[in-house]
């Protein structure tokens, strides 16, 4: 069993660990941690690394110890359109974006109430292209130091943007190669088959 926190359009290393895990559990009883990948991700734009942040409700920001399952997404501005436009601007000239664009439009069109549900939905889209269905369990209590499982809840909190492989990126001629961004960077630039090959996996 591998225990993960839920992230928004997770990093490449996160996806690799997720795909290699025989059993997956998502932490549903942890306290929400601000300024983490639980509600943000990094993509590669013409200006370099760009953070996409899902805003959370005022009550969540005020309560330091809100349970992750209680975290509601805020809709005081049109962040969904902003994220979609930024993603399109960054990847519309990539090799595979046009094949996947419609599904991401649908993802951002739907108004999810809770952050965990939105994160799961985004994961299901990515893994669907890889033909790896997302099968998981949810924790029902928080255990700080669980035994008998691989605890990866804090394994992907820092990012030095390095990978043990490289692939073509749209703006690498201007900004160089940047590794371990959101997994959509690898998906849009390399496609599902090559993505799995680089992750040392195979298409089902």
Does residue 204 lie within any of the structural domains? no
Does residue 203 lie within any of the structural domains? no
* 90-121 pLDDT per residue, tens: 999 999 999 999 999 999 999 999 999 999 99
Q: What is the secondary structure of 11-44 as a DSSP string? A: BHHHHHHHHH-SSEEE--SSBP-TTSTTSEEEEE
* 146-178 pLDDT per residue, tens: 999 999 999 998 888 999 999 999 999 999 999
Does residue 160 lie within any of the structural domains? yes
Q: Give the total number of structural domains in the chain.
A: 1
Q: State pTM to two decimals.
A: 0.93
Distance CA 119, CA 104 (A): 13
Beta bridge partners of 40: 53
Domain that holds residue 63: 2-198
Does residue 53 lie within any of the structural domains? yes
Six token digits for residue 152: 């990866």
Distance CA 32, CA 104 (A): 25
């Amino acid at each position: 069993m591998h225990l993960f926190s839920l992230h928004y359009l997770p990093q490449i290393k996160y996806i690799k660990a997720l795909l290699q895990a025989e059993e997956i559990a998502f932490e549903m009883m942890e306290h929400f941690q601000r300024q983490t990948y639980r509600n943000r991700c990094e993509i590669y734009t013409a200006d370099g690394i760009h953070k996409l942040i899902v805003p959370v409700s005022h009550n969540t920001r005020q309560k330091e110890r809100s349970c992750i399952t209680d975290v509601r997404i805020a809709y005081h501005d049109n962040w969904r359109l902003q994220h979609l436009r930024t993603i399109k601007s960054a990847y519309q000239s990539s090799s595979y974006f046009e094949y996947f664009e419609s599904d991401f439009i649908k993802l951002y069109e739907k108004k999810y109430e809770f952050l965990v549900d939105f994160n799961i939905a985004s994961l299901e889209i990515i893994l669907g292209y890889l033909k790896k269905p997302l099968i998981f369990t949810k924790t029902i209590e928080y255990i700080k130091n669980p035994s008998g499982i691989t605890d990866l809840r804090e394994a992907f909190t820092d990012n030095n943007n390095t990978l043990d492989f490289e692939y073509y990126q749209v703006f690498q001629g201007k900004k160089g190669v940047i590794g371990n961004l959101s997994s959509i960077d690898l998906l849009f630039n390399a496609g599902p088959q090559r993505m799995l090959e680089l992750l040392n996996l195979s298409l089902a």
